[in-house]
Structure 1
């Protein structure tokens, strides 16, 4: 069933070419900056860092805290995020960078990332999938919304790892498949499966429990 959802979304939207970044470090910076903000704000902050040639671990560690906070201000929560960027950059340097860390087993790497201040499961998994290129599925609020409305889960409050493992059991453990599926879910939920859904034209409508229930009650126009 998960594969059917993926196939329909892929046919409808096409490839999404995620994560939008030029380097592995930029992926990780973006995954930290995107916490509690829109991606357009992250793009502005990353643009500022690029202009100052600061998109490298050593540059982030060395830049004065005040200057870093000012550059990433568009992403919001800039005091916290500046601290988290410095912690992550130092972690990379101290542990041999992406090349050495990528040699770790997936869950050993995940544990190390989760021990960093401000790195939660979604942030860690985004780094693992898109920067370290290991097959783990990234769950976000869009994933929970879509799968709840499709009837795959009973509540949007489902535990992160319970849903992640449910998806991973349903699909081949493939990096490109996981990254594309995550991106397609985000795309779909921004265009159709919004908080207030736009069901007309939705490529998943015939399998959507939420729509069927709403249609039965006459709530869809």
Structure 2
């Protein structure tokens, strides 16, 4: 690990934690709800995804066995708030079938699979990209896999850790290669990044409010300079 990068990343996390407190993420009542939420939050705000989850729960459908057997025409109307609801209905049903058939609808059975093997299995599912897959690995299976999203790339490119438009893999390596593999740390770090990106480091950032704008006294955001 590069000592300076490690120190910078840890101090950024510490500054975010001091500003926002522990984020207690992922907000879900059950592991399966987290899995469904990871699918529903693709390309939409968490608020919309949460409404779709509430609709499934209210309809008594937030159950892997029921969703595995359901027609997508029955799932789609319940998840309209999540956008792309026809596609997501198919993804939820397909994932539920795999979860029931291969893992007996048991999150512990899923978590018992070796990380790389499980990641490849989930990535093979239609509509499962790296962010959705890694969200399940980290937040359900407690695997030390750092989840990357648009906020991560935006914030850390602005601070010069990454080139603008950095790939998912390059961004993930920044954290994986410079922090100890700690699922608890990766969990809250990602949540802190989401909080910062959603409230302060927006496309038009509120730099004067940013808790990491002067970490170590030398780290500076390219957007907020001058």
- Taking structure 1 as the reference length, what is the TM-score of the superposition? 0.93
How big is each residue's C-alpha offset from its partner over 1:95-128, in whole Å with a ceiling of 9 and x where there is no partner? 1232222111111100000000000000000010
Show the counterpart of 2:99: 92
The alignment status of 1:192 with 2:200, answered yes or no, reads yes
Question: Do structure 1's residue 174 and structure 2's residue 182 form an aligned pair?
Answer: yes
Measure how far apart 1:189 and its partner are: 1.2
CA contact under 8 A between 1:70 and 1:78: conserved in structure 2?
yes
Q: Is the 8 A contact 1:3 1:170 kept in 2?
A: no
Indicate which of 21, 32, 35 corresponds to 1:28.
Answer: 35
Aligned counterparts of 1:154 and 1:45: Cα–Cα separation in 2: 35
CA distance in 1, matches of 2:148, 2:63: 27
Indicate conservation of the 8 Å contact 2:70/2:93, yes or no. no
Calculate the TM-score normalised by the size of structure 2.
0.91
Which 4+ residue blocks in structure 1 deviate beyond 6 angstroms? Answer: none
Contact 1:15 1:180 in 2 (8 A): yes
Question: Which residue is equivalent to 2:220?
Answer: 208
How much is the aligned-residue C-alpha RMSD, in angstroms? 1.1
Q: State how far apart, in whole Å, the 1-side matches of 2:190 and 2:220 are.
A: 18
Structure 1 gaps of 5+ residues are 216-221
Residue-pair matches, total: 213
Partner of 1:69: 76
Q: In the alignment, which of 146, 151, 172 is matched to residue 137 of structure 1?
A: 146
Distance 1:154 1:54 in 2: 43
- Selected match of 2:19 from 2, 12, 16: 12
- Measure the CA separation in 1 of the matches of 2:191 and 2:220: 20
Deviation at 1:211, TM superposition (A): 4.0
Give the unaligned 5+ runs of structure 2.
1-7
Which of 161, 178, 197 is the aligned partner of 2:169? 161
Aligned to 1:152: 161
Partner of 1:79: 86
Q: Alignment partner for residue 111 of structure 2, among 93, 97, 102?
A: 102
Residue 85 of structure 1 deviates from its aligned partner by 0.2
- Contact 1:205/1:211 (CA < 8 Å) preserved in 2? no
